[in-house]
Structure 1
Amino acid sequence: MTRTTLVLRYGAFAVLATLANLGVQRIVLAIGEGAAVFTLAMLAGTAAGLVLKYILDKRYIFNDATTGLRAGGQQFLLYTVMGLVTTAVFWATETAFWLIWQTDAMRELGAVIGLTVGYVVKYKLDSKYVFTRREAVA
């Protein structure tokens, strides 16, 4: 895979995961208001984006052939752990934008900025620590 293809594919997958994340957040936020609903929305959205991105990255970015419940579970756990730091960046940015402007549009802009920074860092971490048994990728 060429570097350009890798960047475009990874970017497209990040957009899909971001849309899944924000879509789930909107669904949860539609049930009410307040800090508890906001927190639940962020957690549910993050989970949706995480699972989708893992599936896409494993197969189409890192060409990872790891199989089996135990190995796959360990790999997903490591993928999730690598995402903790990047998720903190995303959550902090989204929350800051909400606290400053208190509009859904600015909250979502903060989420997009935080997710973008997070995904760049996450690729570096995943390629070094998570998907170590893979075919060569540019």
Structure 2
Amino acid sequence: MRHVKPTSILQKTARIALGIFMVVAGTAHLTFQRKGFRAQVPDWVPVPKDFTVVSSGYVEIALGLALLFWKRERIPMGMFLGIFYMLVFPGNIAQYKNHRSALGLDTDDKRRTRLFFQPVLILGALWSTGALAEIQRKLKSRQNLLSSNQ
């Protein structure tokens, strides 16, 4: 097994903050913000909105706990979290397009501004876990392999 480069104190702090954020957000999906999160589920999702909200809440709690406690697998967890953020992004777009007020997003300007934070969350998940550095390392390795075969 290859040794994984440790992350910086700043990355570790960001990973812990993101883990706590995910556990709180997941808990909110299951409890006090459940109705608000339904407003983000696009109409084209083929399962009931409440099922989508509850399921994503459990996934968020699991990912948050993994970020906090499963340090050995932080890179795959960062990649999974980045993918999760990409998968829920259509919900943010649907909330904006359908002018649905929920979760404090009661104007189109607020809903549009939120759209710009999703890429920040994706990059934050990848950077804080060391997954971004691992992706860059693998891409560079492949590039070197391709150039040496030419």
- TM-score past 0.5 threshold: no
More helix, by proportion = 1
State the TM-score, normalizing by the size of structure 1: 0.32
